[in-house]
Copies of this chain bind each other. A is one copy, B any other.
Amino acid sequence: MAAAAPPPPPTPTPSPAFTLPETTPIGNPMFVRIRLATKSDVPHIHKLIHQLALFERLPHHCSATESSISATLFNSPPFHSFTVFLLEVSPHPFPPTPHPTHPFYPPTINLDLPVSDPEKEVFRSDDNNDDVVVAGFVLFFPNYSTFLSKPGFYIEDLFVRECYRRKGFGKMLLSSVAAQAVKMGYGRVEWVVLDWNVNAIRFCEEMGAQVLQEWRICRLTGLGILVVHLPTARETLFYVLYRRKLASIFIFMVKGSASGRRIPVAPRNMRQYSTSRHKKIHLLLRRRPTQC
């Protein structure tokens, strides 16, 4: 008896996941690139900084201009001084061009709906590909831990434009800085958050970062710096009056003078102030005797 023919093997249901390469997912794919910014990106960085100031409701504190950014950034090798990573997105894969330096390619994300970007034209990247748009940035620079005797990175700003938020881009930007820190053997990545910004603190905790509750930042700024480094009260007062153009001739009478001699004295650090202005200044003061 001839053996019954075996039943045909079941046709395996093809899995759609493996019929397409990973780089072209179904839906509304968004390809992501994080790359080192250069001087030619300053107009984008300037606009992003102003959007950040608006987001933090501090536009009156923001005095950044394109020329001031150009003058202070990109003057040193990246990672050893102030460094900017730009986040770029595109509906099409990025060509493997050698143009962008230090590029990171986070995983492509898939959206239910394409992003409607009202500022697409303004934030169009300089890349040859017309669809590439700048969506965010991170500015960071090296800091140092004496206890570890190792450098780290401090993130000054991390910002994603409104229409690209809640898609994991913040984490991608932070990860790119962390990856660079690991590559350079650095010990820490730090940043600051506002204590009432619940989302920022949640993000911080999700990243596995420790929130240092006990530390407070002290900041000397503007006149504060000048006042500190001027060693005496008379010089501080002199400087304030000088800046306000009230002190072309300023007689400062210090109580407790023993001799009453009038000695023309230029305050310490006078030179650095007078270099910027050429007004001749006389300071007549009664010098307090040295206390023994």
Contacts and interface: CB of A to CB of B under 8 A. Distances in A.
Contacts of A100: none
A46 to B, nearest CB: 8
A149 B69 contact: yes
A53 interface: yes
Contacts of A187: 221-222
Contacts of A292: 16-17, 25-27, 110
Interface residues of A, number: 98
Nearest to A181: B225
B226 A218 contact: no
A212 B208 contact: no
A9 to B, nearest CB: 16
Main secondary structure on A side of the interface with B:
mixed
A2 interface: no
Contact of A220 (B63, B106, B178, B193): B178
17 contacts: A15-B258, A15-B259, A49-B147, A69-B149, A82-B142, A141-B142, A146-B156, A171-B228, A174-B228, A182-B272, A187-B222, A188-B220, A188-B221, A194-B216, A195-B215, A208-B224, A209-B228
Interface of A: 15-18, 20, 22, 25-27, 49, 52-53, 58, 61-65, 68-69, 72-73, 76, 80-82, 106-107, 110, 139, 141-152, 154, 156-157, 171, 174-176, 178-179, 181-183, 186-196, 201, 204, 207-222, 224-229, 231, 258-259, 269, 272, 289-292
